[in-house]
């Protein structure tokens, strides 16, 4: 009976450690949109801003922008390509045009990443024309 009890305890310990290991590397995905650019959106930009409100730095492994047809939009500016420290923010953006709506997605890695953010449409003077929070 003692051998069986020892086996069960070892199995439980290994299963627990594996479970904690998976949690330590959990990724968190958030996104915003769709946000409508309007029929005359020439010269404006779609900007995704990210804030790290957690207790550790996070890496943003994926930063994507799409139009409403599901086409990837080429990111032209990106300050989110390095580790995002505690209490820090970054942004990535792309010029947009056409009568379309746009969305963005961010995947954060690290130990229990906590990020929030907002997607914005800005005019050429950087005035915010529309915004929507991440979910």
C-alpha distances (whole Å) from 42 to each of 23, 96, 98, 119 are 44, 7, 7, 18
Cα-atom radius of gyration of the chain, to the nearest Å?
20
pLDDT for 40 beyond 90: no
What is the pTM assigned to this prediction? 0.77
pLDDT band at 111, cuts 50/70/90?
Answer: confident
Percent of the chain predicted with pLDDT > 70: 79
Distance of CA 84 to the CA centre of its chain: 11
Q: How far apart are CA 74 and CA 90, in angstroms?
A: 17
Instruction: Tell me the domains of the chain and their CATH numbers.
Output: 26-133 (2.60.120)
122 pairs with which residues across the strands? 45, 128
Average pLDDT over residues 21-45: 76
**For 39-65, what is the mean pLDDT?**
91
What is the reported pLDDT for 69?
94
pLDDT digits (tens, 9 = 90+) for 23-34: 445 788 999 999
pLDDT over threshold 90, residue 47: yes
């Amino acid at each position: 009976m003692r051998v069986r009890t020892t086996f069960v305890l070892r199995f439980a310990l290994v299963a627990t450690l594996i479970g904690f290991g998976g949690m330590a590397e959990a990724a968190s995905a958030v996104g915003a949109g769709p946000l409508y650019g309007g029929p005359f959106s020439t010269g404006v930009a779609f900007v995704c801003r990210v804030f790290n409100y957690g207790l550790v730095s996070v890496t943003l492994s994926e930063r994507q922008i799409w139009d409403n047809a599901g086409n990837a939009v080429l990111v032209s500016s990106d300050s989110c390509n390095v580790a995002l420290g505690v209490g820090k923010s970054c942004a990535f953006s792309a010029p947009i045009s056409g009568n379309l709506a746009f969305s963005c997605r961010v995947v954060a890695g690290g130990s229990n990443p906590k990020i929030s953010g907002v997607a914005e449409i800005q005019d050429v003077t950087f005035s915010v024309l529309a915004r929507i929070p991440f979910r």
